Amino acid sequence: MPTRDGYGRCIFVQEASGFCVDVPGHMMLLKATPEVKEKTMVVNGSSRTIARTWLLQLPIINECHISALRDMCALDEPVAVYILGLKRHQLWSVPERLDVVDVRRGPANMAGAMVRLQSHAFEAGIFQSDNILEGFPWSCTSSVVKRGSAASGSGQIFGSGSGVIDNEYWLLKPGKEDFVGPYWNPGSPDTSVDFTGELTKGDGIDPVLDWILPIQGATLTIEESANNMTLYFYDWSGSLISSTNKPSGTDSLNVVVPDETWRIVFSVDEADVDPRVTIASVGAALEPRVGIDKLANGNWIGVPAWSQ
């Protein structure tokens, strides 16, 4: 269970609006491990999984956060959630519709609402690890054509300030082309990674993982001496805030996620093992960060006040 070491912070992120609800660990109850249900069928005498459902239910006890989450629900746009622990983290990087259900349960009936997310993605960036990059395909992958993808890595085009482009290639394992979530973009048809995590770059291009991850104040640790990795931090409008490089031969390097960060781009120049980024400190939870306005015609306008 990820909760045995304690929660530090939980960030709900609505990619379309820039709305972020940041909940301190002591304002959540019970576990936060998604339930996974699978449907199987027998093929040639062996059982195979043909469908998968993920369900996350998280009790929240603070009315301020509950109210903000209800406002987020009212916008009717998908939400991702990142639950940062003291050692291990639960990452749900697949945007789905959020549901907030009124309840009174838990110790002294303190939980005011149950937050629910559900996904039917078969292969998804939903995972638990101390390494926040572990759930995104790297080892045993090669370049696969995936047209019409969003630069956010979400697999959906929201028209937000994240900067949408057409990324043609993904690094994926054979038979896993239906993966949903942030992905490594090799930028070339000739890139591959072997089972040990060693990178072979096509056309000399550095693979990048472009991820909407507004966790300002958290301290990230870039690890693995055999890897050369650079982190780029961008605001909502796509402007570069800062960058940090950990060269090969350096065991680890800490970097604090700067204020106003909306996207983090992880870029690998060299790798002999899987990329590894841990969290040395989750940072302090912030007040709810309201996003941009949605007009009656469905269009979005403005820049989030917290990122400008």
Contacts of 190 (CB under 8 A, 6+ apart): 143, 200, 202, 203
Mind listing the pLDDT tens digit for each residue in 245-280?
Answer: 999 999 999 999 999 999 999 999 999 999 999 999
> Whole-angstrom Cα distance, residue 274 to residue 199?
9
> Whole-angstrom Cα distance, residue 273 to residue 295?
47
- What's the pLDDT at 49? 64
Mind listing the pLDDT tens digit for each residue in 18-28?
Answer: 999 999 988 87
Averaged pLDDT, 106-129: 79
- Average pLDDT for the chain: 84
- How many CB atoms are located within 10 Å of the residue 238 CB? 13
- What's the pLDDT at 174? 83
Please tell me the least confidently modeled range out of 33-37, 84-88, 263-267.
33-37
Pairing state between β 293-294 and 300-301: antiparallel
Please tell me the least confidently modeled range out of 76-85, 143-152, 161-170.
161-170
Q: Confirm if 139 and 197 have CB atoms less than 8 A apart.
A: yes
Checking if the pLDDT of 170 tops 70, the result is yes
- What's the pLDDT at 301? 86
Task: For CA atoms 134, 135, 139, 143, give the dihedral sign.
Answer: negative
> Whole-angstrom Cα distance, residue 212 to residue 214?
6
**30 vs 122, which has greater pLDDT?**
122
Averaged pLDDT, 52-78: 88
pTM: 0.86
- What's the pLDDT at 109? 53
Sheet with strand 46-60: strands edge to edge: 35-43, 46-60, 111-119, 98-105
Three-class SS of 41-108: EEECCEEEEEEEEEEEEEEECCHHHHHHHHHHHHCCCCEEEEEEECCCEEEEEEEECEEEEEEEECHH
> Whole-angstrom Cα distance, residue 274 to residue 171?
13
- What's the pLDDT at 18? 95
Q: Confirm if 225 and 251 have CB atoms less than 8 A apart.
A: yes
